[in-house]
Chain A
């Protein structure tokens, strides 16, 4: 009983948000979204999801806070080192056969993944032939990504990941330190374009050799996953490579028939001809 009302209230809230601000959250995965909504309910001291409707409609700041919350920006340099090792060993040699290489990081959050990729490409003497497009729909995260500045408290974790990924030196060689921060060298960001792109409402990114969309689809329900997976595949050139997050699952998606598996544990796929 209460459960059905909860669904109804959720639906009404998302409809209200869409009508007022144009943001579509209807196809986001439910459990993560409920977590966030509950957090806002407790901050606003309300018992019902529908109580958030007047709040979000009339208080733009409260809604902006919700959007920020909905966009989980958790990421790391060289997150899942085995994955980067697999890239280095098996995918880079493939990319080397192209005169020019286009890479898209969809849902790049605060950019750590894109910098990790730039470092890896640099160590493989490939960076000068590469253009990385790193996109997200969270403008706040993109701002941090463009700055390339991160708290230096995270450096030990980043160094550890980097070394486990098969890195050749030390990350300190790619950044400068000061004011409790690290800042990645401009030489890396010269090859990265950070841009706003919404996977729900924006279009294809053309003719990519490599697309990474890690830990983004998990926030979508099956229907939206399917739609976005198709968008990612359509953005690849023939035989282009697609990388997803380590525990992501496309077995149940219709578009997965357009992909062949390159490395199943690391979730690396290739677009069929």
Chain B
């Protein structure tokens, strides 16, 4: 069997979610299906030990490759990478993830800001950042970094969010390109 050529990562999608994020992620990923040609990196605030359940459920629901991130893990198109509990997830280079145990940001580790800022740093305008439901303001600084680097920012519409504070904080930065409900976000990601 010929080995399939691995295509280089051209663009990347980063998602931040907190309270209520588990079911929001399930909805988006079931809608999206497995036909997407970029890596998706997810920072969902979670307790240590919750991560395995999250990864398994998402993998079952969506039929995509969902992985718990490790340090210096190669990153491929069409895969979903989840931040592990108690580590920050970062984009290390155009084809690699990395982790750190730096200080908590907005009381969180993993933190959305850390993921978004590192993605903006490496991928510049080729980043789409999505802020979902959550009850704190993590992600707002990251959204600014993504916008400054020329990337796109999408927030879940607060009225559709289980916890409104996080998408609201993102919207208040004035950096959002679109405000959509979960189905809308899946549709947005399906665009070429």
Contacts and interface: CB of A to CB of B under 8 A. Distances in A.
A72 interface: yes
Interface string A127-140: 00000000000000
Interface residues of B, number: 25
Contacts of B99: 218, 247
Contacts of A247: 68-71, 84, 87, 99
Interface string B91-123: 111000011111100000000001001100110
Contact of A72 (B70, B92, B102, B121): B102
A226 to B, nearest CB: 11
A30 interface: yes
A31 B72 contact: no
Contact of B92 (A3, A31, A252): A31
A74 B103 contact: yes
B70 A3 contact: no
Given A34-B118, A225-B72, A218 B98 contact: yes
A31 B101 contact: no
A74 B98 contact: no
Interface residues of A, number: 24
A222 B72 contact: yes
Contacts, number: 66
Contacts of A225: 72
A16 interface: no
Contacts of A29: 72, 92, 98, 100
Interface string B112-148: 0010011001101000000000000000000000000
B54 to A, nearest CB: 15
User: Which among B48, B93, B100 has the highest number of chain A CB atoms within 10 Å?
Assistant: B100
Interface string A178-221: 00000000000000000000000000000000000001011100
B73 interface: yes
Contacts of A30: 92-93, 98
Contacts of B72: 29, 218, 222, 225, 249, 252
21 contacts: A29-B72, A29-B92, A29-B98, A30-B98, A31-B90, A31-B98, A31-B118, A31-B121, A32-B98, A32-B100, A34-B118, A34-B121, A35-B90, A35-B114, A72-B101, A72-B103, A74-B102, A74-B103, A225-B72, A247-B68, A248-B71
Interface of B: 48, 68-73, 84, 87, 90-93, 98-103, 114, 117-118, 121-122, 124
Q: Which 9 A-B pairs have the closest CB atoms?
A: A31-B90, A31-B118, A218-B71, A249-B70, A32-B100, A31-B92, A74-B101, A247-B70, A249-B71
